[in-house]
Structure 1
Amino acid sequence: MAEILIGSFQDVIKIVPVLFLVILLTNWITGKVNKGTHFFSRLAKLDVVGGALLGTIPQCGISVALAKLYDNGYISLGMLMAVFLAGSDEALIVVGAHPDKLPLMLEIIGIKVLIGIGAGWLINLAIKEKRNRLKGCGIDCDCPKCGKHKNILVNSLVHTLKLTLFLYVTVLIIGIGADRFGE
């Protein structure tokens, strides 16, 4: 059991610096949105099409940032799903290993964009949600519902610690399950 506890900790601790940087970036983006940055209000108007196109940018930071924007009520669920479905991080790996596959990868990315747009549109059609559910809440929010600290570094650190604890418990449960029942 001690091996599982230590192994789980070693697995999770490796990603904490990256997790902190991603959370810091998303908090910064959310702060910019809350202060009236016009880029994101224009992006929200593009909705699922904009989400699907953003999803093609190869990095998970886009998905994380838009998940945070959805959480704060700035974008629709359909747009969020369009980003997730159009995500194409694997394209860089395949093209890097096989540059001759670039036309195929572009075709696949195009299909993923179309799927993202279609699914996002259907989700928005089926689920009518109220946007700006938490309007005004962000890095500068003092409301008791948010419980956020005004300092972006402190807020990001607290969020990172909460997620690290969640990840540790999750990895620990998976480790115990694999030990008891096999992989």
Structure 2
Amino acid sequence: MSEIILDSVIDSIKLLPFLFLTYLFMEWLEHKTGAAARKRIRTAGKFGPVWGGLLGVIPQCGFSAAASSLFAGRVITVGTLIAVYLSTSDEMFPIMISNAVPVVTIVKILTCKAVIGILSGLVLEYVYTRILKKQEPDVDIHEICEEERCHCEHGVISSAAFHTLKVFVYIFLISLALNIIIGLVGEETLAGLFTGTPIAGELIAALVGLIPNCASSVVITQLYLDHIIGAGAMMAGLLVNAGVGLLILFRLNRDRVQNLKIVGVLYGLGVFWGIIIEFAGIVF
């Protein structure tokens, strides 16, 4: 047990400098482009899902939360919101960078998420507005904005340090838990939970990904890097992983039934695309 704890501590500490530098870059990018990206989505009109998918994939802090706020204020459409949710990367990007995953692999995954986000958003938008003939009621965006709170106002360095420490704790706890489970159960048995039954891996991974916490994306990414889950399950979990965006959606959007439908659609799309990737034999 002491050896497992020591290995988990050492493995986690090795990631610290890479995590901090990655989050420092992400915070700088957010300060430089965040407002411009949100403005681009607000003014995109019927091309909202395209811009949502493209801009959502950029590693920025809290972009899914911003999209949820804009949707609650009826500034963007449901198709654009889903496109952002599906393409946003959350903690996957810094974890893969800190684990020295090849840049080509990361680009492939991000591109896949962006394409899936755009296609899904456009189809959903067409079905919602043209087939179901749905229109969102107007909401006062100023009322919504007053309810939102920003946690990145203390400067780039301190914010990056906060995110680094927070994710470091998650990585350590999850690595420790995984090492204990693997030691007790065995890596092959654990992998069998995801690969033993067709589609089960995608269904389970997507459920984990729906947890509105960065720990869920850490779990999924780590399982993939440890070769316990495949590309389909990994993508299913990361596609639905909108992070705090879902929390903001339920806090600001008063239509609870609509919120549940959005979560259901998000889960269904994540599982669907994960199955497609798995059965198509796509690897990253």
Q: Would you call these one fold, judging by a TM-score over 0.5?
A: yes
Q: Which amino acid aligns with 1:171?
A: S
1:1-80 pair list within 5 angstroms: 1-32=1-32, 36-37=35-36, 39-43=37-41, 45=44, 46-53=47-54, 62-65=57-60, 68-73=62-67, 76-80=80-84
| Structure 2: unaligned runs, 5 residues or longer | 71-75, 90-100, 129-133, 188-284
Contact 1:26 1:64 in 2 (8 A): yes
Deviations along 1:105-142, one digit per CA (max 9) or x if unpaired, are: 9xxx79x72x432323456659x8x98997489xxxxx
Paired residue for 2:171?
167
| Alpha-carbon distance between aligned partners in 2 of 1:123 and 1:8, rounded to the nearest angstrom | 43
SS at match of 2:59: helix
Question: Measured at CA, do residues 9 and 121 of structure 1 come closer, stay the same or move farther in structure 2, by a change above 3 Å?
Answer: farther
RMSD between aligned residues? 4.1
| Alpha-carbon distance between aligned partners in 1 of 2:13 and 2:142, rounded to the nearest angstrom | 35
Q: Which amino acid aligns with 1:172?
A: L
Contact 1:24 1:152 in 2 (8 A): yes
- TM norm structure 2: 0.40
Query: What is the deviation of 1:11?
Result: 1.9
Contact 2:53 2:118 in 1 (8 A): yes
Indicate yes or no: 2:189 matched with 1:177. Answer: no
| Structure 1: unaligned runs, 5 residues or longer | 56-61, 94-104, 138-142
| Alpha-carbon distance between aligned partners in 1 of 2:172 and 2:144, rounded to the nearest angstrom | 29
Question: Measured at CA, do residues 154 and 119 of structure 1 come closer, stay the same or move farther in structure 2, by a change above 3 Å?
Answer: same
Count of residue pairs the alignment pairs up? 147
Query: What is the deviation of 1:83?
Result: 2.5
| Alpha-carbon distance between aligned partners in 2 of 1:91 and 1:147, rounded to the nearest angstrom | 30
Q: Greater relative contact order: 1 or 2 (C-alpha under 8 angstroms, separation 6 or more)?
A: 1
| Alpha-carbon distance between aligned partners in 2 of 1:147 and 1:81, rounded to the nearest angstrom | 20
Query: What is the deviation of 1:9?
Result: 1.6
Question: Measured at CA, do residues 33 and 168 of structure 1 come closer, stay the same or move farther in structure 2, by a change above 3 Å?
Answer: same
Paired residue for 1:117?
118
Q: Which amino acid aligns with 2:40?
A: R
Deviations along 1:55-87, one digit per CA (max 9) or x if unpaired, are: 8xxxxxx4432x6211234685323245359xx
Identity of aligned residues (%): 24
1:92 to 94, 98, 104: 104
